[in-house]
Structures are given as C-alpha cells and as structure tokens.
Structure 1
Amino acid sequence: MIAKQEDHSLEDTLHLNAMNTSFYIRVKDCQRKEWKNVISAWILYVEKEWSRFRTDNELYRLNELKAGEQMIVTSPLFDVLQKAEAYRQNTNGLFSPYLLPQMQFHGYEQTFPFTATIQQEHSLPCIFNDINAPFEFLQNTGSVKRTAAGKIDLGGIGKGYAVQSAARWLKEIGQARAGIVDGGGDITVWSDGEEKWKIGVAHPFKKEQEIAQFRLKNGSVATSNTIYRSWLQGNEQKHHILNGRTGLPVESPIIQATVFSENCLDAEVAAKLCFMVNPFEWKKITNTYKLLLVDQDGKITSFKRNEV
C-alpha cells in the first residue's frame, strides 16, 4: 500500500483483500448496520466482473463482441466505461482504457506477484487512437455496441471507481458522518467537519517508511508508482503505466506520483498523467489541488493548485 491511513480500532472497520490489494474501510455512525456486507459484496463484484484475467465475466464478454454486436451491461460497468472514455477524450488519448493488447504484449498477462516474462515474437499491437470510442453507448437500453476493434482494461480506474462508489454509498445511503475507503492507495475520505483523516504517503522503495503526511477532511488521493508493478521481459525492464498514445511504458524521471483531488477518478487519472505531462499542463486536464512527486534520485517535489 502506498498511501497509508492512521490505524484505528476495529470498531466500524472492514478489512478486505481483493483486486490484488488490501482494502481498508472505516466509518463513523453509519445508519445501515449491514454496511460491511454491502461494501464487501460491491468490491468482490468489481473484482470478479471487471478483471481482465478472467474469461467468465462481464468484461470478457464485452471484449469478445464482434463489430456490430451489442450486449446489455450492468449500470456500474456502463457508467465506468463512459467515464473512462471521457477521460481519454479529455487527455487527448494519454489516458486510455483500451490498452489490454498492449499490456499483454509487454508481459502483464497474469496477476502479481511475478518478476519476469518472456519476450513476445510479434510486434506491438496497434493502439486505438480514433476520435470516437470503439463502443457505442446506447442510453435507452443500457447496451454497449462494438463499432471498432479495441479491448478494455479498466485497471486503476476500475479500482478508483470501486472506492469512490463505496464511499458515496456509505455517505449518502449509510449516512455515515465520516469515513475512509482505501483501496491499496486509492483513497476517498469524507467528514462532517470534525474528523480529519491522516494520510501517509509511503517511500517508493521502502514501503514502511513515510515521505509525507497530510490531514484531509474531504476528498480523494491516488498514488501511481513505476516500481511496485514492474518486471523483466527478456532483458527489458517493464512496468504497468502505459502511454495511451504509444502503447509503451512511460519513460520519466518521476517514479511515484501522489495526487489529491475532489474525487478518486480524477486523482487516479492525474497520477498517471504525472509521468507523461508537465505539471503546468496537468492542471488543465483534471480537477486536482495537490500533488507530490518523487523522482529517480529520491527528490520530492510538491505542488498546490495555486502553484501550477
């Protein structure tokens, strides 16, 4: 876990291992006693139905559609797909949810942990860079129709959506006056004004050592890192953050980016953009208000909204 929260007692707390990470949820004065069952079911649903490593779920069936075919999808998948496409449009393709073939080409074909994969004999698959999405979203039926080639990997934005949705349910339906939902560093917190959540950012090379701490009443945090999910493919070092325009692992002096924003999806996407875009450009793309960058020499740089 990269962004870490203050330890609390087990009362009103849920720990769950899913999506190859650890989830930590804590609420205060939640009015729905069954909240742990609801949130656990939601997170496990996302893990099962949105995983690109499975062949028995909704995402796989959608990816297997042929041109002209369509299927009705559940409302959460419909929603996250539209949001992911909107981010692709807003970032001019730097962020893309259609990088599954490229992820597989670079060797990310299994869940972590792994340290090495074999070199592919074929060339890098062509990226999807059309103006329009490879899927048409039919609002009246909740259906998705394939219009072009392109396979979906929701990855980090899927986890961020799971975190954001869980927090929204606990706050709005559960009426919890304060809470934190942490999905392995993708974090959303809220408070009635009295509670301040302590967010610690871990060192990129030493997980147990913090490089910074922040107090946050309301908002979201996401951290991306090119170290934790990296591997050797032949003699090449690879990692999981790809440039949506090239399909290649990003090359940047930055090795870790932590972004604070009003919602978890903005933070998640902006954290990826920090490896591709100068912070002075980054502010135009997502609604974020603080970021913390660590470069390959260990130098830490912090920006606030009024500084970029």
Structure 2
Amino acid sequence: MTVKHEDPNDFETLTIKAMNSQFYIAVTTCGFENWQEVIVHWIKHVEKEWSRFHLDTELQKINRLLTGQKLCISPPLFDCLQKAEEYRTITEGRFSPYLLSQMEYHGYDHSFPFENCPAKAGLFPQSFQKKTAPFHFEGQFLAVERCDSGNIDLGGIGKGYTVQAAAQWLKSSGAKAGIVDGGGDIAVWSDGEKVWHIGIAHPYDEERDIAQLYIKNGGIATSNIIYRSWRQGETIKHHLLNGQTGLPVETDIIQATVITGNCLDAEIMAKLCFMEQDQALSQVLRTINPVYSSVLVSKSGKITLI
C-alpha cells in the first residue's frame, strides 16, 4: 500500500482482493441495498475480461483481430479504450495502451509476484508511433476494427477506470460521500461535510507517511517502480514503460503521487512524472488537467511537492 486512510464511522464498507490489489470502498447510505454485490461484480468483471494474462477475455479477442476485422464490445471497455487513445494523443505517445508486446518482451508476461524472468529471443518490438491508432472505434455500434499492428495492455488505466466508474455509480445512486480505493488509485467525493484524510506512505517504509492529504472531492493516484520490478538476466526491469520508446523509464523518481479532479487523470499523470522533469513535467501534466498537485520521491529519499 502506498496510501492510508481512516475507516470512517457510520459508513458502509467493502473490501475485496482483485487485480493484485486490495480494493476498499466506504460510502454513506446508498440508494441500492445490494450495492456491494454490484461493485464486486463490476470489479471481478474487469479483472476477468480486461486481463492480458488469459486468452478467453474480451480484451484478448480484440488483440487477436486481423487487419480489417471488427468486433462489437461492451460499453465500459469501449469507453476505456477511447479514453486511453485520447490520453495517448494528448501526451504525444508518452502514455500508450499499445505496449503489450514490449511489456512481454521485458518479461512481464505473467502475473505478479515474480522476481526473475529469462531474456526473450528475437528483435525488440518497436513501439507504436503513428498518429492514428491501430484500431478504429465506431461509436454507433460500439465496435473496434483493426487497421494496423499493435496490441492492447490496459494495465493501470484499466484499474483507474474501474475505480472512477465505481465511484460515479455509487455517487449517482445516492451515496452523498464515499471513497473507492483500488490499491492506491483513489476517487473520493463528499456533500461538503466529509473531509477525507489520506496519508501517502514512504516507498521504503510503509509505516511512515511522507504527506497528509485532506480532500473532499477528487482523484489520487500513486505509481511506484519498486513494487513491480524484476530481474531479466543481469538487468532490473519495471512496469512503467515510455510509450515513445517501449523501454522502462530511466528516472531518479521512484514514487509519484498526483492529486487532481478525477482518478483517471491522476493515474495517467502519475506515470508521466517518471518521464519528464521540472518545467517540461508541468507543461505535459497541464495538458491533461491544469489543476493538480504532486508528491515525488527520488532514489535518495528527497521529497518534492509540485
């Protein structure tokens, strides 16, 4: 865990293990008595159907499309894919959902936890650099059509979307205040009375907080290159790839937390913190959401607030 929060009194709560993360949800009285069942079904659906580690999933059916073939998909996955492509365009490819082949080449071809993996044979797959996406999205029919090479790995944006969608549904269902936390991807809302107190843990010492947040409405996301790292031969790899190169980012930053208007923006912005620095970082983050704060931790332990 990279964040900690209080367990509020007089709130209904739910805890579920999914996507290699601990999900925690707390809400005021919801308009649906079975809200916990609905949320569990949603999280488990995403875990199953958006996974890249199993063949018979909705996501992998898209990846298996041949050029010119189409597939009608579920509304949430269609929406998530469209948003992912929008982020790729806005960030000029720094973020990309089309890094499955590169991720597998680096050894992340099975679920965590693991510490070592063998080197891959063959040439390194080049990252998708074209301005147009490898898939065409037809909103009228919720269909995707393959028009170029490139395979999808939703990864963190899939979890961020899951959190944000759950929060939106709970809020629209009458919960006046609540929190949805998917292993550090957090959405909170309040009717004005509830102030959420969230602590950001130090990457090397989870018992020590490096910052305390007090927030009524918004999204928080924390990315860390320590927890999902492994050794491939003599090289240490991690899961944060630069979409422009397909290579693990080389950075002095080991943990980044972004606080902004919604969880999905925060998820993408936190990843960008490892790719840019100083003024360039501020510029690229403002292209996604101009109102934000960030907490960065370097290898030396230096903490920077932006």
Normalising TM by the smaller chain, what interval? over 0.9
- Deviations along 1:148-197, one digit per CA (max 9) or x if unpaired, are 0000000000000000000000001x210100000000000000000011
Q: RMSD over aligned Cα, in angstroms?
A: 1.1
Contact 1:22 1:183 in 2 (8 A): yes
**What are the Cα deviations for residues 245-292 of structure 1, in whole angstroms up to 9, with x where unaligned?**
000000011110000010111100000000112233233321141000
Q: Any residues of structure 2 matched to 1:268-307 within 5 Å, and which? A: 268-278=267-277, 279-287=281-289, 288-303=291-306
Hey, what's the Cα distance between the residues in 1 that align with 2:97 and 2:121?
Answer: 24
Residue 29 of structure 1 deviates from its aligned partner by 2.0
Which AA in structure 2 matches 1:144?
V
The structural deviation recorded for 1:123 is: 2.1
Between the aligned residues of both structures, percent identity stands at 55
Partner Cα distance (2:46, 2:91) in 1 = 25
User: Corresponding residue for 2:99?
Assistant: 99
Q: Secondary structure at the match of 2:269?
A: helix
Deviations 1:53-73 (A, max 9, x none): 011110010000000000000
Equivalence for 1:52: 52
Deviation at 1:147, TM superposition (A): 0.3
Matches within 5 A, 1:204-215: 204-215=203-214
What SS does structure 1 have at the residue aligned with 2:161? helix
2:91/2:284 contact within 8 Å kept: no
Q: Distance in 2 between matches of 1:87 and 1:217?
A: 26
Q: CA deviation at 1:9?
A: 5.3
Per-residue CA deviations over 1:27-59 (Å, capped at 9, x if unaligned) read 012121110001110000000000110111100
Determine the C-alpha separation between the residues in 1 that align with 2:58 and 2:10.
Answer: 34
Residue 244 of structure 1 aligns to a residue in which SS? coil
CA distance in 1, matches of 2:147, 2:10: 49
Counterpart of 2:259 in structure 1: which amino acid? F
- What displacement does 1:94 show? 0.2
Q: Which runs of 5+ in 2 are unaligned?
A: none
Give 1:306's aligned residue. Answer: none
Structure 1 residue runs of 4 or more that deviate by more than 4 Å after TM superposition: none
Alpha-carbon separation, structure 1, partners of 2:286 and 2:178: 29
Q: Is the 8 A contact 1:30 1:170 kept in 2?
A: yes
Contact 1:12 1:27 in 2 (8 A): yes
Tell me which moved more, 206-215 or 11-20.
Answer: 206-215
Q: Is the CA contact (8 Å cut-off) linking 1:22 and 1:184 kept in structure 2?
A: yes
Match of 1:254 in 2: 253
Mean Cα displacement is larger for which, 137-146 or 3-12?
Answer: 3-12
What's the TM-score once normalised by structure 2's chain length? 0.97
1:140-289 to 2 correspondences below 5 Å: 140-172=140-172, 174-278=173-277, 279-287=281-289, 288-289=291-292
